[in-house]
Amino acid sequence: MSVVSAYFICGSREEAERISTALVEERLAACCNILGECHSIYRWDGAVERAAEVPVIAKTRSDMADALIARVSEMHSYDNPAIVVWPIDRLPLDYARWVENNSGNGPFSDTA
């Protein structure tokens, strides 16, 4: 089983909901967790910036990660969105199967 988490930041809750809904509807993610607003401090165009942003954690199969990154990038309002994929070291077998069955259209595409 190969399940990963994709973490990305959105500029608003509406953007997070729009992107997350598309990822689940298009089976690029089995689910997305939209977290509470965070406050980011970062360097952009040579200046230190501050912004309120909304983090999202999506769970998907590792073979879907590149497609998920591409889709988030396509839909995102930022020129250079922060999207990272983290491996999941351990998880319950039933949950892993559920993620694999609900993301992608490959060999696990029968809905659990």
pTM of the model: 0.89
Whether 2 contacts 63, CB under 8 Å: yes
**d(C-alpha 100, C-alpha 85), whole Å:** 16
pLDDT in tens, 60-108: 999 999 999 999 999 999 999 999 999 998 999 999 999 999 998 755 5
pLDDT, position 109: 44
**d(C-alpha 77, C-alpha 61), whole Å:** 25
3-101 to CATH, choices 3.30.70.330, 3.30.70.120, 3.40.50.11260, 3.90.1150.10: 3.30.70.120
